[in-house]
Structures are given as structure tokens and as C-alpha cells.
């Protein structure tokens, strides 16, 4: 299951999580973001035992995007133990790119 979060719930859902968390920064006018959305939901099922996946609507959480230096969409940030351990953005954001990114970082 993919959870929608905001600046108000980021601490609890991401930084305080006991398992790794993949944060999907997306926007309602970002066509690549919308195209990847079904794949992100598929990943949530595939990695349910290893990973929590959350989504942040950048249009409603601009301050959070600025604070985390998310400059382009779609962007995926991976957190472990409250720390960012990886980031995927720009040309690397594709279904295969996300899968490779996760496979190289999750044990």
C-alpha cells in the first residue's frame, strides 16, 4: 500500500519509520509522474516485506520539496533509519531505473 504524506506527517511516516522508506515526489501536472504511478503501486506490493513506499504531492508540499532539495519531478528519495541514503531523479527515473536503484540498496 502506498501512503500519501505531507510535511506534517513526514517525520512520523519517513524519519521515524523502522523499515526503509521510498518517498515518491510527484505532481498532478507531471506526465512522467502520472505514468509511473501504477508501477509505484506495483512496487509497494512486491517490496511490502522490505520497504514502505509513500507519495508526496509536490504541488501541496512546496516547502518540504525545498527543504529536501527536490528540484525535479519525478524524484525518489530512499531513507533508512531517518537518513537519506539514495536519490533518483531526472533521466534515471524509469520503471527499470527504480527497480535497479532499489535492488542495489535493499538487502
Is residue 32 a contact partner of residue 84, using CB atoms and an 8 Å limit? no
Domains and CATH numbers, the chain: 2-105 (3.40.30.10)
The whole-number pLDDT of residue 92 equals 76
Give, as one character, the DSSP assignment of residue 13: I
CA nearest to 25, candidates 76, 90, 67 = 76
Mean pLDDT of the chain: 95
**% of the chain at pLDDT higher than 90:** 93
The whole-number pLDDT of residue 106 equals 86
Residue 91: pLDDT band by 50, 70, 90 thresholds?
Answer: confident
> Which sequence positions are flagged as catalytic?
30, 33
Summarised one tens digit per residue, pLDDT across range 44-80 is 999 999 999 999 999 999 999 999 999 999 999 999 9
Over residues 87-97, the mean pLDDT reads: 90
In angstroms, rounded to a whole number, what is the distance separating the alpha carbons of residues 66 and 26? 14
Amino acid at each position: 500500500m502506498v501512503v500519501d504524506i505531507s510535511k506534517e506527517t513526514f517525520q512520523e511516516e519517513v524519519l521515524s519509520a523502522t523499515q526503509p522508506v521510498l518517498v515518491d515526489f510527484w505532481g498532478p501536472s507531471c506526465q512522467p509522474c502520472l505514468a509511473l504511478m501504477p508501477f509505484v503501486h506495483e512496487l509497494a506490493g512486491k517490496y511490502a516485506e522490505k520497504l514502505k513506499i509513500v507519495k508526496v504531492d509536490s504541488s501541496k508540499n512546496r516547502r518540504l520539496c525545498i527543504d529536501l532539495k527536490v528540484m525535479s519531478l519525478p524524484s525518489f528519495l530512499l531513507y533508512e533509519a531517518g537518513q537519506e541514503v539514495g536519490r533518483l531523479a531526472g533521466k534515471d527515473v524509469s520503471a527499470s531505473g527504480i527497480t535497479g536503484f532499489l535492488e542495489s540498496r535493499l538487502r
